[in-house]
Amino acid sequence: MTDPASTALRTDHYELTMLSSALRDGTAQRDCVFEVFTRSLPGGRRYGVVGGIERVLDAVENFRFDQRTLEALERDRVCDERTLDWLREYRFTGDVDGYPEGELYFPGSPVLTVRGTFAEAVLLETVILSILNHDSAVAAAATRMSSAANGRRLIEMGSRRTHEDSAVACARISYLSGFTATSNLEAGARYGIPTAGTSAHSFTLLHDNEREAFRAQVDALGAGTSLLVDTYDITEGIRTAVEVAGTELGAVRIDSGDVGVLARQAREQLDSLGATGTRIVISGDLDEFAIASLRAEPVDVYGVGTSLVVGSGAPTAGMVYKLAEVDGRPVAKRSSHKESRGGSKAALRRHKPTGTALEEVVYRNGAGHEPPAAGPHDRFVQTPLIRGGRRVENLPGLEDNRQRLRHALVSLPWEGLKLSSGEPAIPTVFENR
């Protein structure tokens, strides 16, 4: 097993064969610009949400070929001796600009721009795309859920439905996207995100009856805990819960059934028992549409699992890492519908004086290109992330980016917050081509 901290083998075989060939003919040293963007938003979504930038920066820092990694490449004859020698010294020394985490993006937005020699920059393709495609897919789904929840609390609890490491990234992204807490303890430990959880059906079944289970939980966690009331009969469960915990009971959770109806009944019953402050937590196969449909019901907290970690129908964001420039000359594939626009690009987001976003202007930048004129309400979206191989200091953290996303959503035209499929919330306009 290779060093789990090194990200160097999170890489497609062909990155190394390309490197071998390019080292041999000298093209490896050509100055290149690679651009990460998406051609469209999946499923007619109105906006994308950038997730994973912080993890990309970590991955680039940890992209080193240690001894075990090099031995594996040699044993499997992935590349020649010259390439192995070159990899031994590898460290990215170029520049990276990109959209900050929590920023919205649209088709063609230059989400990340990587500048360096071909050799240095091509190697990062796979790991950068893995992170951005995964985290941004989850970010879009989670943000739609937050938006649908309309201020009510959301708890992420999908760890069991996805790869155990993916689960940690999902928990982080859910927090970025406005969730209140996650069930994932590793995410709590690693990123300082609030974690939450009380009990499962197994805890009730473990006991001789529901009352004993509730008693045990309240004894251990206090009356402010959340009791799961749908193991046997919900009405009975709620009555027992209030009898055991008193009217100070923190919350009841319902995990199955027609949750809208059940929430209303639970609210009435709790109120009639005097537990007017007891919250109602609803979980079980919720997605953004189910959350929106519960707006009129007395739900206080949503627990969301599966649909979040699988991107609610769009588990990958469809971003690509395309060579856009070689030695200052724009390049692009041109055989099919998958055509790309050549040349290094940046973006200006135009807004009305009210602050509402108008359009995403994607323009050629670099030598010989003037940026478009920016009005007082417009802003350039890319920010410097890496300079000369070093992470730019004092980049915004998770809390800042959480706020950024919240503000960005407010800037969308109202149609842009629709859950239904349609056109992107704002058009992308290409200038200076």
Rounded Cα distance between 135 and 174, Å, is: 10
Task: Please list every residue from 342 through 381 that binds a copy of itself, using CB under 8 A.
Answer: none
Task: Please list every residue from 44 through 83 that binds a copy of itself, using CB under 8 A.
Answer: 59, 68-69, 72-73, 76, 78, 80
Which residue number, 290 or 361, has a Cβ lying nearer to a copy of itself?
Answer: 290
Q: Using the rule CB under 8 A, give the single segment among 90-98, 202-210, 290-298, 388-396 that binds a copy of itself.
A: 202-210
Q: Which residues contact 315 (CB under 8 A, 6 or more apart)?
A: 137
Rounded Cα distance between 306 and 101, Å, is: 23
Which residue number, 311 or 424, has a Cβ lying nearer to a copy of itself?
Answer: 311
Which residue number, 306 or 383, has a Cβ lying nearer to a copy of itself?
Answer: 306
Task: Please list every residue from 161 through 180 that binds a copy of itself, using CB under 8 A.
Answer: 161-169
CB of 430 to a copy of itself, least distance (A): 19
Q: Which residues contact 60 (CB under 8 A, 6 or more apart)?
A: 92, 96, 124, 128, 386
- Contact assessment for residue 138 and residue 311, using Cβ atoms and an 8 Å cutoff: yes
- Contact assessment for residue 309 and residue 135, using Cβ atoms and an 8 Å cutoff: no
Which residue number, 103 or 135, has a Cβ lying nearer to a copy of itself?
Answer: 135
The tokens of 34 are what?
């690679």
Which residue number, 9 or 57, has a Cβ lying nearer to a copy of itself?
Answer: 9
Site string for a copy of itself, 230-269 (x = CB under 8 A): xxxxx---------------------xx------------
Which residue number, 164 or 399, has a Cβ lying nearer to a copy of itself?
Answer: 164
Site string for a copy of itself, 204-233 (x = CB under 8 A): -xxx----x--xxx-xxx---x----xxxx
25 sits near a copy of itself (criterion: CB under 8 A): yes
The footprint of a copy of itself on this chain (CB under 8 A) covers a number of residues equal to 106
Q: Which residues contact 230 (CB under 8 A, 6 or more apart)?
A: 201, 237, 253, 254, 255, 256, 257, 262
Identified binder of a copy of itself from the candidate list 91, 185, 427, 433, rule CB under 8 A:
185
126 sits near a copy of itself (criterion: CB under 8 A): yes
CB of 326 to a copy of itself, least distance (A): 6
DSSP, collapsed to helix, strand or coil, labels residue 350 as: strand
CB of 319 to a copy of itself, least distance (A): 9
The tokens of 281 are what?
């937590």
* Nearest CA among 430, 420, 429, 416 for reference residue 48: 416
Q: How many C-beta neighbours within 10 Å does residue 144 have?
A: 25
Identified binder of a copy of itself from the candidate list 49, 57, 131, 304, rule CB under 8 A:
131
188 sits near a copy of itself (criterion: CB under 8 A): yes
- Contact assessment for residue 361 and residue 371, using Cβ atoms and an 8 Å cutoff: no
Task: Please list every residue from 297 through 316 that binds a copy of itself, using CB under 8 A.
Answer: 306, 309-311, 315-316
Helices 234-245 and 210-221 sit at what angle, rounded to 10 degrees?
40
- Contact assessment for residue 342 and residue 59, using Cβ atoms and an 8 Å cutoff: no
Identified binder of a copy of itself from the candidate list 11, 136, 146, 177, rule CB under 8 A:
11
Tell me which H or E stretch contains 186. Answer: helix 185-191
- Contact assessment for residue 200 and residue 226, using Cβ atoms and an 8 Å cutoff: no
Which residue number, 149 or 171, has a Cβ lying nearer to a copy of itself?
Answer: 171
CB of 77 to a copy of itself, least distance (A): 10
123, 126, 127, 132 alpha-carbon torsion, rounded to 10°: 130
32 sits near a copy of itself (criterion: CB under 8 A): yes
124 sits near a copy of itself (criterion: CB under 8 A): no
Q: Using the rule CB under 8 A, give the single segment among 275-283, 336-344, 357-365, 396-404 that binds a copy of itself.
A: 336-344
159 sits near a copy of itself (criterion: CB under 8 A): yes
CB of 99 to a copy of itself, least distance (A): 18
- Contact assessment for residue 46 and residue 416, using Cβ atoms and an 8 Å cutoff: yes
CA-to-CA separations, 271 to 206, 233, 244, 255, 257, in angstroms, rounded: 29, 18, 16, 20, 21
CB of 263 to a copy of itself, least distance (A): 15
CB of 353 to a copy of itself, least distance (A): 41
